[in-house]
Amino acid sequence: MKLTIGHIYPDLLNLYGDRGNIQCLRKRLEWRGIEAEVFPFCFGDLIDFRKLDIVMLGGGSDREQEIAAGNLRAIRQEVHEFVEDGGVLLAVCGGYQLLGEYYRTSGKIIEGMGILDIYTEWKPERIVQNVILQSPLFSTEVVGFVNHGGRTYIGDYMPFGTVKFGLGNTEHSRQEGLVYKNVIATYLHGPLLPKNPVVCDYLIEKAMQRKYGSNVILKLLPDTEEQRAQKYMME
């Protein structure tokens, strides 16, 4: 069995260790004896989404996001089809914002891919902090680090989690990120997946079930060190 992972624009969208999400996916697949092939797609590379099982879109500065957005809009149809077909997509911070209609920064509007009916508005006070969430998807908390100027308005989408510590999609919302089909979109860097192996396994399981059938269940891994690290971060 094998999963193929696409890392979109590691040269532009890769803040606060987002690349660690790819390493975590690869490692946790290998530990279970599942082959993992990773394709880093740099800016301008052609991407065939039909060959991908998991896609990661990381965060970036406003400047890098603006550069990336032009190309991403050109492939919005392919991304849309991938998402609607149940493709697994992890979008972090800048990547999350670019799934939406637009991100209005201090001086301009960066048009997103419009895959999700959400939008983001910039404010001068950046939100920089550690965050703890309770997600309806998991029995353990999710921890992460955020650093962004945008505030994202998600309408009726299901949030990724409720904030227990820190701030969420906006400073007035207790909701963080969103879940749509097999998309997890969140502001949490960290990187997210090594800090929260349950989130990594959730994405892997969804991708395995899409490819090999809904009865696939992942082997549990011991995760003693990971759990100890998470407890430390929580405290």
CA 208 to chain centroid, in Å, comes to 18
d(CA 135, CA 143): 10
The closest alpha carbon to 117, from 71, 153, 170, belongs to: 153
Shortest separation between residue 177's beta carbon and ligand GLN, angstroms: 13
Report the length, in residues, of the chain: 235
Would you tell me which residues interact with ligand GLN (CB under 6 A)? 15, 59-62, 65, 93-94, 147-150
Helix, strand, coil % over all residues of the chain, rounded to 5: 30, 30, 35
Shortest separation between residue 143's beta carbon and ligand GLN, angstroms: 16
Q: State which residue, 62 or 226, has the beta carbon closest to ligand GLN.
A: 62
Q: State which residue, 59 or 177, has the beta carbon closest to ligand GLN.
A: 59
| Annotated catalytic residue 189 | yes
Q: Give the three-state DSSP class for 107.
A: coil
Contact status, residue 12 vs residue 43, Cβ threshold 8 Å? yes
Q: Which residues pair with 148 in a beta bridge?
A: 127
- Tell me the one-letter amino acid at 60: G
- Tokens 């990661």: give the residue: 56
Q: State which residue, 60 or 194, has the beta carbon closest to ligand GLN.
A: 60
Shortest separation between residue 59's beta carbon and ligand GLN, angstroms: 2
| Annotated catalytic residue 148 | no
* b/e map 193-203, b = 16+ CB within 10 Å: bbbbbbbbbbb
Contact status, residue 202 vs residue 186, Cβ threshold 8 Å? no
> Which residue among 7, 148, 189, 200 is the active-site one?
189
> Which residue among 24, 93, 148, 200 is the active-site one?
93
Q: State which residue, 53 or 64, has the beta carbon closest to ligand GLN.
A: 64
Q: State which residue, 115 or 204, has the beta carbon closest to ligand GLN.
A: 115
Shortest separation between residue 108's beta carbon and ligand GLN, angstroms: 12
Contact status, residue 168 vs residue 68, Cβ threshold 8 Å? no
HSE-CB at 186 with a 13 A cutoff on CA atoms is 32
Shortest separation between residue 225's beta carbon and ligand GLN, angstroms: 27
Q: Which residues are catalytic?
A: 93, 189
